[in-house]
Amino acid sequence: MTNNKSVLNWIEEMKTLVSPDKVVWIDGSEEQLEQLRAEACSTGEMLKLNQEKLPGCYLHRTAVNDVARVEDRTFICSQNEVDAGPTNNWMEPQKAYKMLYDIARGSYKGRTMYVIPYSMGPIGSPLAKIGVELTDSIYVVLNMAIMARVGQAVWDVLGDNPEWVRGLHCKCEIDAEKRYICHFPEDNTIVSVNSGYGGNVLLGKKCFALRIASFLGKNQGWMAEHMLILGLQNPQGKVTYVAAAFPSACGKTNLAMLIPPEGYVKKGYKVWTVGDDIAWMRPGEDGRLYAINPENGFFGVAPGTNAKSNYNALASTGEGTIFTNVVQNLDDNTVWWEGLDKNPPKNAVNWKGEPWDGSTSSEKGAHPNSRFTAPAKNCPCISPEFDKGEGVPISAIIFGGRRAQTTPLVYQSRDWDNGVFVGSIMASETTAAAAGAVGVVRRDPMAMLPFCGYHMGDYFAHWFEMGKVLGDKAPKVFNVNWFRLDDEGHFLWPGFGDNMRVLDWIISRVEGTADAVETPIGFVPKAEDINLQGIEDEINLETLRNILVVDKDQWKKEAEGIEEFYKNFGDKLPQELRAQLDQLKQKLQ
């Protein structure tokens, strides 16, 4: 498979540690994957679904104590604690390795070690990176084969290069008390023990593509961001690409796969999905910022996904998909989850594997964090540029959060530095779905708070550095808020496909064809410049004006919250951000 000394030596070292009965090298061939699917079904690790209705689709149930990412068990293990920063859990690397290896030792006895070579990004792309994951889980192998580019071609591209990311995953006993997901950014290494849930064990995803990659990007002059990438095609056929960052529950996947309103479709507008979750971006030869989606699939939340909320996401799950912790409908051996439709199956099995009757049970059938792992190529609006290794040029970066008041529907930053400020103050208010009080402002800069692999103060500084490199070719920066409420708590903006109307204004600003009004926080559209054609019954010009208002008193209070938040970063907070905050306060006077 490979003669790469650094790979072979590491695998030998790990074999000695975990003691597998046998080793299987994953070559990415359909023949080998089919054998593994059959084996997983024979042991009950996976269930084969109705192949007529859901060809190539399978169901998996995780352990009941292992259903989501575990932030409190996730560590950045850098030599110096200060380099991990105040927003990460830190552990000293030598101590972490000893602890993890003591847990992992001998844990593959009676099991198979699978060696997965994978490329994040199209194989051979100048923006791609290579990883190797060792796992004792067929579920992980089959998910990685969907989420990344896997197989012999990866070894061919790697050659003798010692630069690749090591990933060791050991199911062990799925013991929640000994569950750790540890990142060693200075060693290009990830170790995950005692979990079988995708978010903790598909090491190419958040672990590599954000935590390790953000550190690599800082050192190598590029950016790894928690962003969707979409292309907006106008009737003349010109496609403009934007990247956008949103905290969870803010409609990120819906925007990535947006279906334009009927009026736009008739005129010939199209939206293309390049990525729904992660963007790797670096300056191209022409000085502009180019982005790839490092992933090859979607690891989406199932509940709430339906033909109305996100037709394209649902369509992506129709073939070759692995469903995790959803309901199994025994009548026709298909799947169901809350929010799919209003017809829960009566003769079914819930996510825990227990008999479940959707017509009488008060308990949810699918876990709230149940998932689908679907090939990106299934998406009806997948971009023709998806597999192009050189990436797509980004013209705008959009930040967003969930705010009932304060933040207008959309505004544009004054320039790149002000845009970094806008990203750094990103916030959402807690909803009933989140633990704790409702309406509490939680800041999540660039939606990277749980995923930045180093000190967030240094991360902000890297954004300013990138601005200097890009100069006047830097993307324009915007902020959106689809979630403004009236006094009765109703949403004022229709959202979903109608968000296209805001994107339309953003593209017009990028092209210099739309006007704007200057406010203390940045440039806000004139209400009449947002196209309301076809939705006049839902929102009128007066309401639109109201959700574009910048209330100085609310923003004075906001500035106090920002000041408090910035204290977390101590003297690592870039002076540019302090200056931006001071400037905001002056403009509010």
- List residues with catalytic annotation: 250
Who's near 24: CB < 8 A, 6+ residues apart? 112, 113, 114, 115
Task: In whole angstroms, give the CA distance from residue 41 to residue 544.
Answer: 54
Q: What's the helix, strand, coil split of the chain in %, to 5? A: 35, 25, 45
Q: In a 3-state reduction of DSSP, which class is residue 135? A: strand
| pLDDT given for residue 366 in this prediction | 98
Question: What pLDDT is recorded for position 436?
Answer: 58
Single-letter amino acid code for the residue at 297:
G
Is residue 314, in this structure, part of any structural domain at all?
A: yes
Query: What's the average model confidence in pLDDT over 145-153?
Result: 98
Indicate if 310 and 274 belong to the same structural domain: no
For 231-284, write each residue's pLDDT tens digit: 999 999 999 999 999 998 788 999 999 999 999 999 999 999 999 999 999 999
Same domain, 468 and 371: no
State how far the Cα of 130 lies from the Cα of 476, in Å rounded to an integer.
31
Residue where a domain stops, chosen among 358, 378, 398: 378
Q: What is the mean pLDDT of the chain?
A: 97
Does 52 map to a domain? Answer: no
Same domain, 277 and 316: no
Residues 37 and 182 in one domain: yes
Task: Quote the domain boundaries for residue 353.
Answer: 297-378
Per-residue model confidence (pLDDT) at position 432: 56
The residue-averaged pLDDT of 73-94 equals 98
Asked if residue 451 is part of any domain, the answer here is yes
Residue 541 pLDDT more than 70? Answer: yes
- What's the confidence (pLDDT) of residue 248? 83
Task: Evaluate if residue 437 carries a pLDDT over 90.
Answer: no
Q: How many residues does the chain have?
A: 589
> Does some domain include residue 330?
yes
- Percent of the chain whose predicted confidence (pLDDT) is above 90: 97
433: pLDDT strictly greater than 60: no
Co-location of 259 and 317 in the same domain: no
Domain containing residue 318: CATH number: 2.170.8.10
Looking at the domain assignment, is residue 491 inside a domain? yes
Within a domain: 51 = no
Q: How many domains does the chain have?
A: 3
Domain stop point among 312, 344, 378 = 378
Collapsing DSSP states into helix, strand and coil, what is residue 578?
A: helix
Per-residue pLDDT reduced to its tens digit, 25-60: 999 999 999 999 999 999 999 999 999 999 999 999
How far is 365 from 344, CA to CA, in rounded Å?
Answer: 9
126 and 165 within one domain: yes
Q: Are residues 251 and 125 in the same domain?
A: no
pLDDT at 431: 66
Report the pLDDT value the prediction gives residue 154, as an integer from 0 to 100.
Answer: 98
CATH number at residue 93: 3.40.449.10
Residues 229, 235, 237, 243, Cα dihedral to 10°: -10
pLDDT bin (cut points 50, 70, 90) of residue 505 is: very high
Which CATH number is 425's domain given? 3.90.228.20
Domain co-membership, 187 together with 255: no
Q: Give the residue from 173, 196, 220 where a domain finishes.
A: 220
Residue 61 lies in a domain: no
Within this chain, do residues 81 and 216 fall inside the same structural domain, yes or no?
Answer: yes
Q: Could you give the CA distance from residue 335 to residue 350 in angstroms, rounded to a whole number?
A: 10
Rg (the chain; Cα; Å): 24
- Say whether both 281 and 256 belong to one domain: yes
More confident residue, 435 or 208: 208
Is the domain of 501 the same as that of 583?
yes
Same domain assignment for residues 438 and 549:
yes
Q: Is the pLDDT of residue 289 over 60?
A: yes
Q: How open is the CA angle 271-273-274, to the nearest 5 degrees?
A: 135
pLDDT for 434: 46
- Structure tokens, 86: 């105040």
- 189-193-197 Cα angle (round to 5): 105
Q: Is residue 578 part of a domain?
A: yes
User: What is the percent of the chain with per-residue pLDDT over 70, rounded to a whole number?
Assistant: 99
